[in-house]
Amino acid sequence: MVGGEVTLVRTKGDLLELVVRGHTGYERYQICAVTILRDTGHDVQPGDEIWWQGNRVMWTPKAQRGQPVEEVDGVLVGSGTEYDIVIPRVGFSYEPKP
């Protein structure tokens, strides 16, 4: 699994643990976690979508998902543009502990 819906955000010192449930096929039954720095200026919440690759997490806030997108001069714009906000990831993905 490399992404899904955030179900829980836990503070661990200066880090945030993002617990994620997959949402396609059999991944709906998988739970995974990734860690980001707490002081990124981004307010990741349960219900938001994330996916990760390399040392980055790509985050789409729930309010932004499925909103209309316009292309102006090759740039996607709009008050509710669906996009991925890049946040640096700390370490690897893992199975979260209860």
Average pLDDT over residues 6-17: 96
Residue pLDDT, tens place only, 21-33 = 997 777 778 999 9
Q: Is the pLDDT of residue 72 over 80?
A: no
N-terminal to C-terminal alpha carbon distance within the chain: 19
Going by their DSSP bridges, the two strands 49-53 and 31-37 should be labelled as: unpaired
Report pLDDT for 79.
47
Report pLDDT for 10.
96
Domain ranges of the chain: 3-94
Compute CA distances 88 → 25, 29, 42, 66, 73, whole Å: 28, 26, 11, 24, 29
